Structures are given as C-alpha cells and as structure tokens.
Structure 1
Amino acid sequence: MTVALAFGTKRPLPSKAQVPCFPEAGAIAASAVRCLLDELETWPKPGLVSHIDSGSHEDMDAGTFRASAAAIGPYFQALAEAGAAGLAMRALREIGLDAEAAMLAATSGVNTHRGAIFGLGLLCGAAGARIGGQVDPTLSLGTVVLRLWARSIFEGPMVPHSHGQVARRRFGAGGARIEAALGFPSIYHVGLPTLRKSVLEAPDDAEAQRIETCFALIAVVEDTSLLHRGGLSGLDFARRAARRFLDQGGIGAPGWRDRAHFVHKSFVARRLSPGGSADLLAMTLFVDAQERMLA
C-alpha cells in the first residue's frame, strides 16, 4: 500500500520483510480508530466537531473526520507492528508522517487528526511493544512511551507554522510533545480517573461518560488549539467554563445536557476549539480499552 506525499512522491507502508507480522496489531489499530470515532460521536463537546454539528469549524464536519479516521487506520497498525518489532523512534516518525499525508489526501488538505496521529500513534506503538515482548507487559502505555521514546521525541523536525508550534512559541506552552515525553500525565491523572468515576455516575450512558471526561480535560489542559484561537484569555475562558460545569455537578446534576450545550454554544460564539483536549479524550478511551484487556 502506498500513500500520496507532498510533491507527488509516494512511499509504501513498511513491508513485512522489514517488520514482522503481529496479528494483535490489527486489533490495536481497530481500537484506536474506534476511539477516534467515539470521540466524534460525542455531543455536546465545547466548540468541537461532532456527528451533530461542526462546532467552531467551518472547514470540516463529521464526514471529514470519518474519512480521516479510515485513512489513518492502517498506519496505526504499522505503528503497533513497529513497536512490537522494537523499532526506534525514527521508524515510528516516518510512519506518522505518512499517516499525516494520508489524512491530508483524504480530507483535501484539512488537518483533522495530526495531534491524534502523534499521541495515539505513540500509544499504539507502546501497545505493540507490550505484545511484542519489548517491555514488561504489565507496564502502563504511558510508562512504555516514557521508557522507550521520551528522549527521542524532540529529535524530529517540528512543523514551524503549525497552530500548536505557533502557540508554543508565542505563549511558552508545552504542547503534545511535552505531554508524550512525560508519559501522558493528562490521561493518567485526569482523563482515566474522570472516565472511571463517570461510569459509576452514568453506567448506562457512554456518551455522558465521554462528555464528563472531555470537560475535565478542558478544565486543566494547556491546550495549544485554544491558545491559537483565543490566546491566553480564550484558554482561561475555556478552563473556567469547563470547571464551572463540573463544579455544578457535571453529568450527575439535573439538566446537565442543557448546561453542556450552553457551554458548547459559548465556545462556538468565540470560535474556541479545544482540539488538544479532544485528542486526549480519544487517547484516554484507547488507554482505558487497552488496560481493561489486561485486567
């Protein structure tokens, strides 16, 4: 399989001669894609694209995200296989760049999942490392990323004019690379605890669980997507709005959907979109699914 790259060149996915076949890698990739789609099928999420509306975005909708998720699925499998084979960060980075090219080809140049390709891709590689015997299989995926690739995460080229990179330079924000290099603390300290607590509050409503988790992440994450669109004042507004929703009882309080919808509309009015938190929501769902498989 090949993908179109910039300037019309093509590069194949890693061949089986280079990377051994690990049947479990397909299941890891399928789980990653499912988590991206579950994130999409969550509403209301403040300012974000969903199956209901496009939030604060004029250049993308649910169809754009579905096409993107389908396009990058094979690369999640390649990343899991690369992790299982014990390949270095350089190999993972090349697969990730090809995944970005496939995403852009599927979306006519719209960046839907660049952050997810990076973060979720690393977690797929970590899941692969566990099934391939490269690490202790009882280690958390975040710890695997930390041990195997933390030092090399910053070695690759940055996209100088990406929204995240511009926000990092302007506001001194950490961004996705810092999050990954630290073993994804936002997932393990915020996302997972909130998701598992929300299961007790709304055991029969998986969408509500995802909404609560999304709000919890927005309330604390230094989201470079928010910084790009709204600056420090936009980030502060978003955090305060999310925290207020949670402090008023979150999904455990009567009328919570109306309140969540109100917050969503307030983000749209300000063109705010917490894309980093959306990526972390999908990653939280993926880590939870992988950890439950080990239980």
Structure 2
Amino acid sequence: MSAQLQQHWVASALALPRDAAYQLGRLAVGALYAELACAPKPGLVTPFDSGSHTDMDAATFVRSLFALRGYFVAIAQAGIDHAPFERLRELGIAAESAMLRATCGVNTHRGAIFSLGLLTAQAARLRGEQRRRPTAEQVCDGVRAWRDALQAAPLDPHSHGQRVRAQYRISGVREQAAAGYPVLREIALPALRTALAGGATREAALVQTLMQLIAQVDDLNLLHRGGPEGLAFAKAQANAFLADGGIAHPQWRAQLHAIGQQFVARRLSPGGSADLLACAWFLHRQELA
C-alpha cells in the first residue's frame, strides 16, 4: 500500500465520526421541525396556532431549534467519543440555557434536550462502533448503558415535571430512559411503522403515532395542566379517535380540530407525548440516512 493511499484511508477514517455527528445532529433538529410542522395536534403548537399555550408560538420554537443546532452535533460527537455521562449532562445543561436565552425564558424543548439528546448520542456511539446504521430498538436499548448514572443524577425539584412526579408518584422520562425507552419500542415505533407501511403521509403517520402516545402515556404535561381528570380526558379523546379509525377515517382532520378545541378549553397540552413523537421520528430517520 502506498504511503499516499494509507494517509487517505486514515484521513477518511478520522473524518467518519465527525461526519456522522453532523448528520445525526441534523436529523435530530429535523425531527423537532417535523413535530412542529405536524398539524393538527390537539393542544400543541403548530405553524397555524399555539394550541393551549399563551407564552409560545411556532416562531418561539424556531428560535429554540436554531439555538439547539450545535447541541445535537456536540452530543452526537460525545457519543462517538464514548464520553462519560457527566459530559452528556453538561452539554444538556448548556443547551437548556441556550434555549431559554433564545426564547426569553420559555421552556420549549427541555424534554427533547434530554430524551432526543440521549438517543442522538447513543445512535452516534453505535455508528462509531459498528460502522453501520443501528436499528431504532438498538439505540433505545443502548441508552440503558447510562442507567446507573441516570438514576444517580440530581433532579430539579422546582420543575413542573418533578413536582408532578412527586405529587402523583408516577415515573417519568428518566425512568423511561433507564429502561431503554419501552414507550418508544412498544408504542410509538410500531404505530409509526404501521402507518407508513400503510401508505400514510409523514404528517398523517405522525398524527396517528401522537394519538397512540396520548392514549397510553401518563403525560406529565397533561397531569401538570389538568390533573388526573385532564389526563383521563385526553386519553379518552385519543382512544375514541383511534377506535373510530384514526387517520383512516375520511374526516380525521376535522375530528382532530374538534378534539383540539376541547383541549384548548381545558388548557391541556400533551407536551411529553410530543417529545416522544420527535424521538420516534428521529429513530426512524436514522435507520435510513
């Protein structure tokens, strides 16, 4: 082998992780854009309305996503480098600060910074090890490598999510991550794949997946805004939509608009389910890209 060719191969090998980090970082931000663009979404921000929110709109989300672009590339590179969990946590804390600066203090993506960040890091880590695209299930399962660190990491007792967890004694996204995101493996990904395999558009497939999540997940945002009654109402509405055919119903958009009006009247917003939806889309896309 010539010295010139050997240098070329070495340079190419060294470039692969960096390229993968940028690619996965773009896919992560793209997944959040896809979640934002999906409409109608009951109680959630879309390009057309602010749902149940009075402190944010689509422009707020776009500013946040712009501020988070570097974070997802950085956490992907950290995954490739097998950085310790504490490094991932530091990146997440810095990303949250960047988000709050961009949105004037509004929390648009705290949940996504956590879950999508971990999944991006693990997808990048597996690509670096295997030199091939991992399955969505492999990425979810791989997050369990950080289980002990996740369980030991300090919680913010003042956040809405932690107050709700303590009040109602239910698990949250940290427990999901430590368990390898069973909610994604068992609910979101099967729903998304089934819809896409049936010929649904991206938007329709995302809607179907979102409604499956709302129907089955104890969404802390819904509990925070509506208590147990609000959570039960949201689940009942989602289950009724799905039982009526979901996106196979010819009037599914009108049905979702009607559900959305009821969510807004009750100030309900399934933000946790929206974060999981973005994670599911990222996992699907990284299998193909």
TM-score (norm: length of structure 2) = 0.91
Check the 8 A contact 2:133/2:286 in 1, yes or no.
Answer: no
Amino acid at match of 2:286: Q
Which residue of 2 is the match for residue 285 of structure 1?
Answer: 281
Amino acid at match of 1:248: D
Larger radius of gyration: 2
Once residues 107 and 130 of structure 2 are traced to their aligned partners in structure 1, the CA distance between those partners, rounded to angstroms, is: 32
SS in 2 for 1:157: coil
Check the 8 A contact 1:86/1:134 in 2, yes or no.
Answer: no
Which residue of 1 is the match for residue 10 of structure 2?
Answer: none
Greater shift in the superposed pair: 24-33 or 128-137: 128-137
Once residues 190 and 182 of structure 1 are traced to their aligned partners in structure 2, the CA distance between those partners, rounded to angstroms, is: 14
Which residue of 2 is the match for residue 144 of structure 1?
Answer: 142
1:220-235 matches, within 5 Å, as 220-235=216-231
Once residues 134 and 266 of structure 2 are traced to their aligned partners in structure 1, the CA distance between those partners, rounded to angstroms, is: 44
Which whole-Å deviations, capped at 9, do the CAs of 1:152-198 have from their partners, x for residues lacking one?
11222211111110110011121110111111111111111111111
User: 2:266 is matched with which residue: 262, 270, 292?
Assistant: 270
Kindly state the Cα deviation for residue 131 of structure 1 after the two structures are TM-superposed.
2.1
SS in 1 for 2:50: coil
Segments of 5+ residues of structure 2 without an aligned counterpart are 1-15
Which residue of 1 is the match for residue 7 of structure 2?
Answer: none
Amino acid at match of 1:200: A
Segments of 5+ residues of structure 1 without an aligned counterpart are 1-19
Which residue of 2 is the match for residue 112 of structure 1?
Answer: 108
Once residues 260 and 100 of structure 1 are traced to their aligned partners in structure 2, the CA distance between those partners, rounded to angstroms, is: 31
Which residue of 2 is the match for residue 74 of structure 1?
Answer: 70
1:1-295 matches, within 5 Å, as 22-133=18-129, 138=134, 140-146=138-144, 148-203=145-200, 205-293=201-289
SS in 1 for 2:39: coil
Greater shift in the superposed pair: 57-66 or 134-143: 134-143
SS in 2 for 1:46: coil
Amino acid at match of 2:240: R
Once residues 42 and 87 of structure 2 are traced to their aligned partners in structure 1, the CA distance between those partners, rounded to angstroms, is: 35
Kindly state the Cα deviation for residue 232 of structure 1 after the two structures are TM-superposed.
0.6
Which residue of 2 is the match for residue 15 of structure 1?
Answer: none
TM-score (norm: length of structure 1) = 0.89
SS in 2 for 1:219: helix
Check the 8 A contact 1:202/1:252 in 2, yes or no.
Answer: no
Kindly state the Cα deviation for residue 44 of structure 1 after the two structures are TM-superposed.
1.1
Which one has a larger percent helix, Structure 1 or Structure 2? 2
Once residues 165 and 124 of structure 2 are traced to their aligned partners in structure 1, the CA distance between those partners, rounded to angstroms, is: 30
Paired residues in the alignment total 272
Give the fraction of aligned pairs with identical amino acids, expressed as a percent. Answer: 46
Once residues 193 and 55 of structure 1 are traced to their aligned partners in structure 2, the CA distance between those partners, rounded to angstroms, is: 27
Once residues 25 and 200 of structure 1 are traced to their aligned partners in structure 2, the CA distance between those partners, rounded to angstroms, is: 29
Kindly state the Cα deviation for residue 138 of structure 1 after the two structures are TM-superposed.
4.3
Once residues 183 and 274 of structure 2 are traced to their aligned partners in structure 1, the CA distance between those partners, rounded to angstroms, is: 12
Once residues 208 and 118 of structure 1 are traced to their aligned partners in structure 2, the CA distance between those partners, rounded to angstroms, is: 26
Once residues 83 and 27 of structure 1 are traced to their aligned partners in structure 2, the CA distance between those partners, rounded to angstroms, is: 13
Amino acid at match of 2:105: G
Kindly state the Cα deviation for residue 22 of structure 1 after the two structures are TM-superposed.
2.0
Which residue of 1 is the match for residue 6 of structure 2?
Answer: none
Check the 8 A contact 1:129/1:135 in 2, yes or no.
Answer: no
Moved over 6 A (4+): 134-137
